[in-house]
Amino acid sequence: MGVFSLAGELDGNPYEILTPAAAALAGKYPLAATLVLRAMIDFSLMRSRSSRYGHAARHLMDCASLASTIQDFGTFEGRDAYVGRLRGEHARKTSFWSLTIG
């Protein structure tokens, strides 16, 4: 079982650990960093943690930057598909979307 097969089990709550982990992974492992960032975004939106929306919006922008360095998302959603799904599932969270660009 590869590390990426566990991505869906990543708990996005411990941001104090995950944020520096994503930063450390970003240079050499942009897909892994993206999956860590997405876990935190998903946690914030799925649990309606509005106090974290600013961080989640920054994480989403970081994902956009990382996407240009990822050659193959494999079985994971590409950036546009991921953002599209978020927009569909969390369209009413306007306080989050107002913090994002695009």
Interval 18-45: pLDDT, tens: 999 999 999 999 999 999 999 999 999 9
- Tell me which residue of 39, 45, 50, 48 sits closest to 13, measured CA to CA: 39
- Tell me which residue of 53, 62, 56 sits closest to 25, measured CA to CA: 62
Query: Over 70: is that where the pLDDT of 80 sits?
Result: yes
The pLDDT value recorded for residue 9 is 75
- CA separation for the pair 41, 58 (Å, rounded): 9
Torsional class of 29: left (φ above 0), alpha (ψ -120 to 50), beta (otherwise): beta
What DSSP character marks residue 100? S
**pLDDT > 70: percent of the chain:** 90
Global pTM? Answer: 0.91
The pLDDT value recorded for residue 8 is 64
Which one-letter amino acid corresponds to residue 63? Answer: C
